[in-house]
Amino acid sequence: MIVVGGSGSAKLATALAKELDVVCAKTEVRKFPDSETYVRIFDELRGEDVVLVQNGYPDDRIIEMFLLQDAIEEGDAKSLVTVIPYYGYARQDRKFSPGEPVSARGLAGHFELDSDEVITVDIHNESILDWFDVDVKNVTAMNEIGKYLKNKGVDIVVSPDKGGIDRAKTAAIAADCDFDYLEKKRLDANTVEMKPLKSDVRGQVVAIVDDIISTGGTIITATKQLQENGAKAVYAACTHGLFVGHAFDKLRDACDEVISTDTLDNPASVVSVAPELAKAISKR
């Protein structure tokens, strides 16, 4: 087996190769003068089971993924598992107006090209997996995030909403603590109250966990209200840290720590999903 890492997931690919105790291929990715992408894989792939690790975000990484998949096919590999740590366009999983695409579905048909299996990480909506025609599985980073939170002495893990309660539960089991979700209650036209449905957070170390943190607005609001309700400390943790604009700085000012995984490389990437990916690949 050999791991090939695209430029959007180079560090994670290296970590995954180490977990699997296999070679991480040497690659070259650069731009032609006209901004088109050039890729090259230097290692021999003939007869190898290849694991390609590359994000579907931002757009130029998608083109790079397609080119790397074709290079692997040209290299006469025995099989290809495409690992998509962050699935771009996953939040565009339906159309709201005539003439719009269902972007997540459209990309599924391309992401699976030349692949025997596709693996995603905490994809925003697992129903997207139904649009793949090859074997596909989704792994969660919440076990690894929970282990990290356990070392921080977290007392309770909360989801920002009821829809994410399973993520909070998974992280809480690994952290050996309680879990809950935040209930939103509109007090007036300009004020929304967010507090745990059942738990008393006074004197507690609380972690808010989510799959994606983008602008950070919801997390910041929740953090302030948890602090007002007496939380001793509040951590913000996610699988995919997009941190659009100045979101990371705002979160860092509001929370005691901002935590994300290495699906996207950013200053908060302190948890690796490589162990969970290695388990999924080893079970093939």
145 touches 271 (CB < 8 A): yes
The predicted structure's pLDDT at residue 192:
57
Whether residue 267 has a cis bond before it, omega within 30° of 0: no
Domains of the chain: 2-140+273-282 (3.40.50.2020), 142-262 (3.40.50.2020)
Q: Which residues does 200 contact at the CB level (< 8 Å), separation at least 6?
A: none
What is the value of pTM for the model shown? 0.93
262 touches 274 (CB < 8 A): yes
251 touches 220 (CB < 8 A): yes
Q: Is it the case that residue 23 has pLDDT exceeding 80?
A: yes
Mean pLDDT of the chain: 94
Q: Is it the case that residue 155 has pLDDT exceeding 80?
A: yes
Q: Which residues does 158 contact at the CB level (< 8 Å), separation at least 6?
A: 168, 179, 180, 181, 182, 196, 199, 206, 207, 208, 209, 222, 226
The predicted structure's pLDDT at residue 186:
58
**Considering 18, 137, 152, 184, which one is annotated as catalytic?**
184
pLDDT category at 143 given cuts 50, 70, 90 is very high
End-to-end CA distance of the chain: 12
Give me the residue label for tokens 């840290």: 241
Please indicate whether residue 184 is annotated as part of the active site.
yes
The predicted structure's pLDDT at residue 199:
77
Tens of pLDDT, residues 34-90? 999 999 999 999 999 999 999 999 999 999 999 999 999 999 999 999 999 999 999
The predicted structure's pLDDT at residue 283:
66
The predicted structure's pLDDT at residue 282:
81
In three state form, how does the secondary structure of 94-159 look? CCCCCCCCCHHHHHHHHHCCCCCEEEEECCCCHHHHHHCCCEEEEECCHHHHHHHHHHCCCCEEEE
Any idea which of 95-99, 114-118, 180-184 has the lowest mean pLDDT?
A: 180-184
Give which of 11, 19, 4 is closest to 64, Cα–Cα: 4
